[in-house]
Structure 1
């Protein structure tokens, strides 16, 4: 057989997407595994997602990551959705399964693995999530499945926040609570795990409008922002001596799951982690 010049394609659809660093770890993983695959970072504007999915079908993409603002909309353009992703109402990874274009959500799974690897207690604990978008829904459902007692959702859009609390109450064994986000919102005193699942801090140095004095000793503080090791939100927790987990850690773990869905091979997690550490000059784990 002659030499093949064809490459396989994966990537990410989103807007904004230029600051998304997923390519760094996924390309390092493909190269280390000797897989002829390229990861593309592709801006897909709101209203263009259906055409983009049709395009990846036509060009025989191996798979694609989905990031904001498309994680909910993409469900209607796929052939098959995992049960957990259906409950969340959000997909962040698209791949081929038995000839069908399938959707999975690895956000929550990546987050859960990060804090489990860090031996953070989950069962019987209380979590507070800022935001009610795709990442928030994924994390809330995975925490509930892992035995969290209560998930409190704080969100500015009351309908979306209450909808996520309702999902937790009706489709999991955890308790879902909604608190409207009005001005500088207070964090419940009995919070064990506090998670920023909003995009605040993604494109600037802003931080969520909460009362930071409510961050108390013993609280674990997490941020899902995937393009920096220290957000303003996490720096507040660091100054108080609290344990923190950043979105880069979550990104590596969810990226490893995506790699395995796309290739059918074990992900070289160490290679992926080292690539991100080199990119950002930090130690992730």
Structure 2
């Protein structure tokens, strides 16, 4: 069974007038994450009594199960390596969580009969969507429907990118380039062995630059790998394959999900210098976090100080990347 996120008469005032709640980020390790700064900034500016904490624990699922049953639990974000592990401890999944096969957001949902369910959701796909929408026109999005896209990597973010590109941007075929063939095989299996009605993306693993040169130019690229220079033979081959797509005569739009230690990675700079529109991963991070708060606070986006928070967090990321400072918590 899947559930749909519903809010009855959403209002931020209910959260403002309610008791103090604690929200959490579950992951290990949690280095250079801007999640606490983002969420604590948003709730502070919105005037909501909430505090967001990091839970950095190798046995994080056990700690998570303790926290969700506390009276002051207000929601949890989940990052690597627990996005899949927590799913078996949940009562239900949203369509996004089920289709993507990974959960980054957890909350309690109360039914009409008063019963409660612990629900898993995925907002990474929304972050990807909003980041790409921020640098494209509606005309471009419409004209590029039916064209292929490229994702780089093989983890959970790639699955979220495939979901976003296929569902909201109408991409026909999604190419994957990654150094590890087993990771790509796992992504393909995840979408083909447990198909979701209405969500049936065509996924093609592109292994070489020569193969890429024979394929149609892509409208979108989402990079979801660490921002390290290629060293091994497999990494070099993957980079050459990506550049073969980039060098086609029809530049498109690129989202570079890696934003630490600096949002403008070498790959992002290469794409931009070759005429592509590029958006950095801090924007996807911000928008997926805003989507989480809409769920936890049971409110609409119009009620939140969205533009102020986006500008404030963006500026902080830029400042810290220039100075090498660690992300603040508040």
Shorter chain as denominator, the TM-score bin is 0.7 to 0.9
Aligned to 2:325: none
Q: Say yes or no: does 1:179 pair with 2:179.
A: no
Describe how 1:1-285 pairs up with structure 2 within 5 A: 7-45=20-58, 48-60=59-71, 61-98=73-110, 99-119=116-136, 120-121=140-141, 122-146=144-168, 147-168=170-191, 170-171=195-196, 172-180=199-207, 187=212, 190-198=217-225, 200-201=226-227, 205-206=228-229, 209=236, 210-211=239-240, 213-214=243-244, 215-216=246-247, 217-227=250-260, 228-266=262-300, 267-281=304-318
What's the TM-score, normalizing by structure 2?
A: 0.74
Structure 2: distance between partners of 1:135 and 1:93: 14
Per-residue deviation at 1:50? 2.3
Pick the structure with more helix per residue: 2
Count, aligned residues = 271
Per-residue deviation at 1:79? 1.6
Summarize deviations over 1:25-55 as a string: whole Å, max 9, x none: 211110111111111122122xx13212212
Structure 2 CA distance for partners of 1:218 and 1:30, relative to 1, 3 Å: same
Summarize deviations over 1:78-135 as a string: whole Å, max 9, x none: 1211122112110111111112221110101111122123225251121111112111
- In terms of mean alpha carbon deviation, does 32-41 or 56-65 score higher? 56-65
Per-residue deviation at 1:168? 4.9
Structure 2 CA distance for partners of 1:151 and 1:232, relative to 1, 3 Å: same
Equivalent pair of 2:92/2:117 in contact (CA under 8 Å): yes
Which structure has the bigger radius of gyration? 2
Equivalent pair of 1:145/1:173 in contact (CA under 8 Å): no
Residue ranges of structure 2 left out of the alignment (5+ in a row): 1-16, 111-115, 320-330
Per-residue deviation at 1:240? 2.1
Residue ranges of structure 1 left out of the alignment (5+ in a row): none
Structural RMSD (CA) = 2.6
Equivalent pair of 1:53/1:77 in contact (CA under 8 Å): no
What's the TM-score, normalizing by structure 1?
A: 0.85
